[in-house]
């Protein structure tokens, strides 16, 4: 379940109070509506057009007065956070109607890392920032309004807590934690701040810390106990203690009433038990509960949308995903899920549009990036008749080889020089619970294939060729489950290795099992069991899996080449990027030693190393390198073998891309 913090009581009252203040026109603007655009300048005349910030995931428009200490209190807190987390994409614009001279003095004394803009165009009036300062607008993706706060003091604390919550939604737990610590300095008993801090610990994978935080809250009274029990239920679900999680959620629903969490957890459990009909009822009831955190309803809408998508009711599923995003604009899983429904209908333009929206939320999400690249590629292929013909020819060739069932090895110049190492990725199965991200197993396969191909070290068989061959041969999932069948397909595609696997969805995260097999006889080369952690570690998890696969390939198939030509300190190799040579590859120049006979037994010594060659440039079929550590002159026809020593234990070196 997505770890979204819960806010009740003070926060809700504060926001409603702002919305109902008399004389405030634009507070009629509802969350999710586009904010008015403008252009203002700083004291140096540099223009800042808001219309140019549509791709920003979050902006804070902070209206203040330089003469009012309460007005600048929150601004200085934001400045401190922006300095501490410069890579957190925390974009703040300070806006004031104070004079240019006063702003210059303010800039000199504070040196804020964000711009202070002079309001000479009535923007303060446009944003209802005249009577009460500070007025703070939190603006989300596509310049849509998220939150509005007016006044200093306690309202500043409420604003900071909401900002912390928004950063949790963006999967920025370190920023959320820092903000809550700022609030706690002034208000140690702030239950909302402690709650956000607990959820930040969940996102960071620090479940014991989160449990301690929420347990302390659960022993207090009233709404604090509710916040604590809800947080504990999230912790226990992450720990796989689903019954305990559900029991606590039920206690919350009895104690606090109309809250969706219990129904979301119940739906998750029922789905895991393969009771999809009852799971749907539970999720649907969760969407109708108006109490508690609205973000829990966003999860209920998303899960319900996933069930409709599984049944092929894509239009209805998109409506549900849209409702989830309207509640939580940073819900990247729901946004990408919507794109996948368009893929299923072959509407790649609409799919790409959804993925671009997801990229605006988090441009570094590896799955969204892979989805967007694939959608772009499919659109280009649809417009490229020549590429379609090339794919058709390639598919036909593989089908013919498969049916002939006789696979001649690729011609090589000699037995020493390496051939290209081709890898074929087959579909990864998915089972278990209902994850919030649709198609996780397929996305995992596509991402690993893309990353492995981008490394330059191996060639990856195009997934369109694999899918096209499977369709042309009329193979079903049962046939593809057979190792011999996959082995025949891989050899027909002239692949040396094939990768297959499974994903089992657990509350604590997906459990991945990958198998890398030799195409010739389906013999295991590498087996990987990997438990994914919290969402913020996704890129790290994927990098570790990719590293492990590439390391094993390099160990099993080290590159071998010949020296073609020596010119001073530079050598020309008869191996290039097609075979997997990239800039930075290191070769040993090896010198084979004659066999040794001792007491009737013959031994073949390990080749001696007479020099090293560091590749500095690689063309398709040739590479250029510089000679290092030379013990004798390197000459043409010397043999070279890839040096893997710098990979380090478990492939932790610098040459795994």
> Which own/partner contact pairs does 305-310 have at CB distance under 8 Å and 24+ positions apart?
305/334, 305/337, 306/337, 306/434, 306/436, 306/438, 307/276, 307/279, 307/280, 307/283, 307/434, 309/337, 309/340, 309/341, 309/344, 309/438, 310/276
Q: What are phi and psi of 332, to 5 degrees?
A: -65, -30
Residue among 199, 140, 540, 644 at smallest CA distance from 357: 140
What's the pLDDT at 534?
60
By the 8 A CB rule, do 594 and 553 touch? Answer: no
> What is the rounded CA–CA span in Å between residue 522 and residue 377?
31
By the 8 A CB rule, do 66 and 96 touch? Answer: yes
Eight-state DSSP code of residue 537: G
Name the CA dihedral angle for 105, 108, 114, 117, rounded to a multiple of 10 degrees: 20
By the 8 A CB rule, do 299 and 324 touch? Answer: yes
Rounded average pLDDT over 102-108: 95
Q: What is the pLDDT of residues 44-53, one digit of tens each?
A: 999 999 999 9
The percent of residues in the chain predicted with pLDDT above 90, rounded, is 62
Q: Among 283-292, 494-503, 641-650, where is mean pLDDT lowest?
A: 641-650
pLDDT tier for residue 654 given thresholds of 50, 70 and 90:
very low
> What is the rounded CA–CA span in Å between residue 355 and residue 369?
8
Question: Where are the strands (E) in 16-166, listed by range?
Answer: 39-41, 47-49, 59-64, 91-96, 116-118, 135-140, 144-150
> Burial, 342: exposed, middle or buried (Cβ in 10 Å; 0-12, 13-18, 19+)?
buried
> Burial, 313: exposed, middle or buried (Cβ in 10 Å; 0-12, 13-18, 19+)?
middle
What residue ranges do the domains of the chain occupy? 1-204, 387-556, 560-651
What's the pLDDT at 8?
35
What's the pLDDT at 535?
62
> What is the rounded CA–CA span in Å between residue 325 and residue 319?
10
pLDDT tier for residue 529 given thresholds of 50, 70 and 90:
very high
Q: What is the pLDDT of residues 393-402, one digit of tens each?
A: 999 999 999 9
Residues in the chain: 657
Q: Do domains 1-204 and 560-651 have the same CATH topology?
A: no
CATH fold of the domain at 1-204: Glutaredoxin (3.40.30)
Residue among 158, 159, 151 at smallest CA distance from 133: 151
Residue among 382, 303, 320, 393 at smallest CA distance from 346: 382
Q: Count of CB atoms within 10 A of residue 407's CB?
A: 16
Of 59 and 649, the one with more pLDDT: 59
What's the pLDDT at 539?
82
Eight-state DSSP code of residue 612: E
Q: What is the pLDDT of residues 329-381, one digit of tens each?
A: 999 999 999 999 999 999 999 999 999 999 988 888 889 999 999 999 999 99
Q: What is the pLDDT of residues 197-238, one digit of tens each?
A: 999 999 998 999 999 999 999 999 988 999 999 999 989 988
Q: Count of CB atoms within 10 A of residue 530's CB?
A: 19
Residue among 64, 74, 77, 61 at smallest CA distance from 133: 64
CATH fold of the domain at 560-651: Thrombin, subunit H (2.40.10)
What lies within 8 Å, CB to CB, of 368 at 6+ separation is: 332, 336, 355, 358, 359, 362
The CATH number for 387-556, chosen from 3.40.50.10610, 2.60.40.1080, 3.20.20.20, 3.40.50.10860, is: 3.40.50.10610
Q: How far is CA 427 from CA 441, 472, 479, 480, 488, in A?
A: 8, 17, 13, 9, 16
By the 8 A CB rule, do 583 and 616 touch? Answer: yes
The percent of residues in the chain predicted with pLDDT above 70, rounded, is 92
What's the pLDDT at 412?
55
Residue among 500, 509, 491 at smallest CA distance from 402: 491
Instruction: Tell me the DSSP string of 337-396.
Output: HHHHHHHHTT-HHHHHHHHHHHHHH-TT-HHHHHHHHHHHHHHHHHH-HHHHHHHHHHHH
What's the pLDDT at 396?
95
Averaged confidence pLDDT in the chain: 88
> What is the rounded CA–CA span in Å between residue 590 and residue 580?
20
> What is the rounded CA–CA span in Å between residue 194 and residue 175?
14
> What is the rounded CA–CA span in Å between residue 52 and residue 143?
10
- Helix, strand, or coil here: 538? helix
H helices present in 440-594, as ranges: 440-454, 463-473, 477-480, 483-492, 538-556
Output the pTM of the full model. 0.81
Residue among 205, 165, 448 at smallest CA distance from 327: 165
> Is the pLDDT confidence value at 20 over 70?
no
């Amino acid at each position: 379940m997505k770890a979204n913090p819960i806010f009740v009581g003070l926060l809700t009252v504060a926001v409603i109070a702002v919305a109902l203040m008399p004389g405030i026109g634009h507070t009629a603007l509802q969350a999710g509506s586009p904010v008015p655009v403008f252009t203002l300048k700083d004291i140096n005349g540099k223009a800042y057009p808001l219309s140019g910030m549509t791709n920003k995931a979050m902006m804070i428009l902070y209206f203040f007065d330089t003469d009012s200490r309460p007005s600048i209190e929150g601004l200085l807190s934001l400045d401190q956070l922006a300095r501490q987390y410069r890579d957190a994409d925390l974009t703040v614009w300070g806006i004031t109607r104070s004079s240019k001279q006063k702003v210059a003095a303010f800039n000199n004394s504070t040196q804020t890392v964000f711009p202070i803009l002079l309001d000479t165009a009535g923007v303060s009036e446009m944003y209802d920032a005249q009577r009460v300062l500070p007025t703070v607008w939190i603006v989300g993706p596509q310049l849509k309004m998220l939150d509005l706060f007016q006044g200093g003091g306690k309202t500043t604390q409420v604003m900071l807590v909401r900002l912390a919550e928004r950063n949790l939604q963006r999967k920025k737990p370190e920023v959320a934690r820092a903000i809550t610590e700022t609030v706690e300095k002034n208000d140690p008993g702030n239950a909302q701040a402690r709650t956000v801090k607990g959820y930040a610990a969940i996102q960071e994978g620090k479940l014991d810390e989160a449990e301690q935080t929420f347990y302390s809250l659960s022993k207090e009274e009233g709404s604090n106990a509710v916040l604590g029990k809800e947080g504990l239920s999230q912790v226990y679900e992450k720990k796989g203690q689903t019954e305990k999680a559900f029991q606590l959620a039920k206690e919350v629903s009895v104690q606090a009433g109309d809250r969706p969490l219990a129904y979301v957890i119940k739906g998750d459990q029922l789905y895991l038990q393969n009771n999809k009909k009852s799971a749907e009822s539970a999720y649907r009831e969760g969407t109708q509960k108006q109490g508690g955190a609205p973000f829990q309803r966003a999860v209920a809408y998303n899960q319900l949308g996933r069930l409709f998508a599984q049944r092929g009711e894509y239009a209805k599923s998109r409506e549900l995903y849209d409702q989830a995003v309207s509640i939580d604009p940073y819900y990247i899983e729901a946004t990408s899920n919507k794109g996948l429904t368009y893929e299923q209908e072959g509407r790649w333009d609409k799919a790409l549009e959804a993925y671009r929206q997801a990229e605006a939320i988090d441009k570094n999400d590896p799955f969204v990036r892979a989805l967007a690249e694939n959608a772009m590629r499919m659109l280009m292929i649809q417009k490229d008749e020549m590429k379609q013909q090339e794919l058709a020819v390639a598919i036909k060739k593989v089908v013919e080889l498969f049916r002939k069932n006789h696979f001649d090895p690729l011609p090589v110049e000699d037995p020493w020089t390496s051939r290209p190492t081709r890898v074929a990725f087959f579909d990864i199965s998915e089972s278990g619970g209902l994850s919030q991200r649709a198609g996780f197993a397929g996305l995992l396969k596509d991402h690993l294939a893309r990353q492995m191909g981008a490394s330059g070290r191996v060639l990856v068989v195009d997934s369109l060729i694999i899918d096209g061959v499977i369709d042309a041969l009329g193979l079903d999932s049962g046939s593809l489950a057979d190792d011999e069948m996959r082995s025949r397909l891989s050899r027909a595609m002239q692949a040396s290795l094939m990768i297959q696997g499974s994903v089992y969805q657990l509350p604590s995260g997906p459990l991945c099992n990958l198998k890398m097999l030799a195409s010739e006889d389906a013999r295991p080369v590498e087996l990987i069991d990997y438990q994914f952690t919290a969402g913020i570690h996704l890129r790290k998890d994927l990098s570790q899996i990719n590293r492990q696969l590439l390391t094993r390939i390099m160990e099993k198939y080290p590159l071998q080449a010949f020296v073609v030509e020596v010119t001073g300190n530079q050598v020309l190799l008869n191996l290039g990027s097609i075979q997997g040579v990239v800039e930075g590859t290191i070769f040993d120049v090896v010198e084979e030693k004659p066999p040794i006979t001792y007491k009737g037994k013959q031994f073949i010594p390990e080749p001696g190393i007479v020099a090293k060659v560091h590749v500095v440039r690689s063309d398709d079929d040739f590479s250029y390198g510089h000679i290092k550590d030379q013990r004798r002159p390197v000459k043409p026809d010397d043999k070279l073998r890839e040096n893997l020593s710098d990979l380090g234990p478990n492939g932790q070196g610098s040459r795994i891309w």
